Amino acid sequence: MYSFCTFFFSAQSHNFHYIYGCYESDDVRVDVVVDDDVVAYADFNKKEIVWVLPHLPQPAKDIQKMAYELAKASTAHCHSVLGKAKNADPGGEASVMNTLFCVANHFYPPTINFTWTKNGVELTEGVANLRYRHNRDGTFHMISTLLFTPKPGDYYICTVEHQAAQVPISKSWGRIITL
């Protein structure tokens, strides 16, 4: 979940947002990000935002209490969402269009191959490979999607091949029947 806003610390504008992650262990991590760099995180034991920068402009210090209150609210939202997720049907609804996402991250060079299969048969219909994107460290990431209508018993596999990987990497969804 992201929340975006823009602050003006000088004549230059900066992109400010916070990111929170919800984990099945009931842990919640909240990071404050400015211009794609993590500048602070919520420390729920100390009940404060911890800045990772040595010097902060006054406007950043002024939002510290508000940022921690926002982080606390994020924990309540995480627990609510996780509670619902634990009771949710784990599969896609049959006969309703769904989308699977397959993400490859931190690879170089940018040439990569995604293959989707349904019940062991390669698919081309419903497959969309988004353009690769640059990471800050010089590597790349890319997303492939599969638009499909699930049926009971179907299983889907996304396989990623890249020259840096010794073997293809696969992720599966659905029921895989072994004989």
Q: Is 146 left (phi over 0), alpha (psi -120 to 50) or beta?
A: beta
What is the model's pLDDT at position 176?
Answer: 54
Q: Which residues of the chain have pLDDT under 50?
A: 1-10, 179
What topology does CATH give the domain 2-86? 3.10.320
The pLDDT value recorded for residue 11 is: 53
| Domain 98-174 superfamily per CATH | Immunoglobulins (2.60.40.10)
Residue ranges, comma separated, of all CATH 3.10.320.10 domains in the chain are: 2-86
| Burial of 156 (C-beta count, 10 Å sphere; 0-12/13-18/19+) | buried
CATH 2.60.40.10 intervals, the chain = 98-174
